[in-house]
Amino acid sequence: MSLATRILISSIAAFAGLLASHARAEIPSKAHIILVSDPEQREYLGDIKVWPKVCKALGGALRLNSGPWGYGIATSNDCAVVTSRPKEFKDWSLVISASKDAIQLELHFAGIVKPLATSGFKPGEIKLDVLSKPEFVAVLIYDILEQLPMLSRLGAVTTKGNKSKIILKNQDRFKYLLPPPVEILIYTLEFEATSKIWRPHVVATARRPDTPIGKVVTWDLDRAIPSNSGTLFLHDGSGRNWHGSMHSDVIASTYDRITTKNVASIMAGTVKDQFAGGFVGLRYGRSITTGQLVNKVGLFSILAELRGSPINGLRVYFDQWPSVSDTAELDAVKFAASRAVFGWSFGFSSTGIFDRMDLVPRIGRWSLLLDYNVRNRSGAIETVRFKTIGALSTGLEIGLEKDIGPVMLRLWAADDVGSNPLLRGLSTRVDDLRAGADLLAKGFNFSPLGKNINLTFLMFTLYENLSLRKKNAGASGEVAINALNLQIALLGGGLAVTW
């Protein structure tokens, strides 16, 4: 038996409480989780409506097979909120209390006043709510378990032939934990209340292979466990509370990680997850192009996109340019337009700089009016009208998306061509070449009727080149103008509802 093993056994044997009970009491398997919430402490706890979630997380961390690394001292638990601190305790009792400087966890044993183990943390903006996070609770309870005369009850042992193993499942919520013991002691344990002595009796040792931890954690036992051993416990062969102050550092760093993620979920998080179902957005942009008329142009847009649904890929856009006019002698003097576009996205995941690429075939319906003053060959000023109503268009959009944590960047370009030949002499052919960049930032969550809805902030910039072509004769039969390019750059923002 190693020196560390003998030291551990001695430390367990010397571990005393102030118990008043019958000698050689059976170690209880039930845990009581108690929140002390008097008016003074409630100020430091924050919203206690989260208590059911907190109790569930703490109870899971204390129970065998679901605690840190699968360890646990209990097989069942209950929960309670009290307005004053208990003076007596039964079984195992985990007491949560708060002060201005810390939220404290104390683990008590039946009949004892002083706690057997303590842990805690200094809360920031997120207080009691952080104890509902399994990753954070795991590091706190691991700190507590290492201080006890047992790290865990012994669960199932797998035996094949003459070889026995302890196999525990590694889980995602253990990702911030200090590593599990390399060597563990397996022993029976009794508490003698009159002499205040814990009495262990080692029945086996086990060792973890010196390999990286994978989906399971395995220890090989040095011998078979006698069938009549009764309830068994285990502890780190290196000694009780082996990691010591390292737990404090892990608790602090894990709190920072968890709460940063929690706060960021209000205004950050991953935007990509918000768009799992789709979104509907409203935005407004204003022209940043210089010119007598075009700098007055504004754009209202309604956008809708469905993802992850039976009609996954449907996109709908409606754009409205309110009528604007100018008194210039020459150049554009009046402009108004609207369009409705339907598209179907064929999305492809990408492993390059961008996460996703979309090809979107589109059909649409246009209405447009542009009055343009020109001087004809006779020197007279003539107003040429480019107009189309109900023009059908077809086009293609190509888009690239990049998820950057709190925001999503989308770069895109599209070309749509349309006309209405039924208008005859008034017919104007529209070729709309567009390119832009959209920035979507995750906003706030709300849940009407139990449905998780998210508010997302939009910013966009857009360049649009409208090529208009027609044949329009003046009074003398001269062709004043039959083609025109209107170039507009816009900058704007808006809001979207996503689900």
Taking only the tens place, the pLDDT of each residue in 359-415 is 999 999 999 998 888 887 777 888 888 888 888 999 999 999 888 867 889 999 999
CA distance 68 to 168: 10
* Full domain range(s) for residue 43: 3-263
DSSP class per residue in 330-384? SEEEEEEEEEEEEEE-EEEE-SSSSSEEEEEEEEEEEEEEEEEEEE-TTS-EEEE
End residue of a domain, out of 232, 263, 294: 263
CA distance 285 to 33: 55
Residues 394 and 319 in one domain: yes
pLDDT reported for residue 438: 93
Q: Can you give the pTM of this predicted structure?
A: 0.52
Residues 221 and 281 in one domain: no
Residues 163 and 312 in one domain: no
Residues 195 and 54 in one domain: yes
Nearest to 143 by CA among 56, 223, 255: 255
pLDDT reported for residue 138: 95
Residues 279 and 203 in one domain: no
pLDDT reported for residue 56: 94
Taking only the tens place, the pLDDT of each residue in 260-304 is 755 444 443 444 444 446 788 999 999 998 887 888 999 999 999
Output the CA torsion sign for 12, 107, 145, 238: negative
Residues 305 and 319 in one domain: yes
End residue of a domain, out of 216, 242, 263: 263
Tell me 473's DSSP state.
Answer: B
> Contact, 103 vs 20, CB < 8 A?
no
What angle (nearest 5°) sits at the alpha carbon of residue 256, between those of residues 117 and 240?
25
CATH number assigned to the domain comprising residue 465 = 2.40.128
Q: Return the beta strands (E) in 193-313 as ranges.
A: 197-207, 216-221, 233-236, 278-287, 298-306
Residues 252 and 372 in one domain: no
Residues 152 and 282 in one domain: no
Residue 451 has pLDDT above 70, yes or no: no
Overall number of domains in the chain: 2
Of 172-181, 230-239, 249-258, 265-274, the one with minimum mean pLDDT is: 265-274
Residues 243 and 275 in one domain: no
CA distance 490 to 286: 5
> What is the average pLDDT across 36-54?
86
Residues 93 and 147 in one domain: yes
pLDDT reported for residue 448: 59
End residue of a domain, out of 225, 243, 263: 263
CA distance 126 to 257: 12
Residues 247 and 292 in one domain: no
Residues 207 and 309 in one domain: no
**Burial profile 107-116: b = 16 or more Cβ within 10 angstroms, e = fewer:** bbbbebeebb
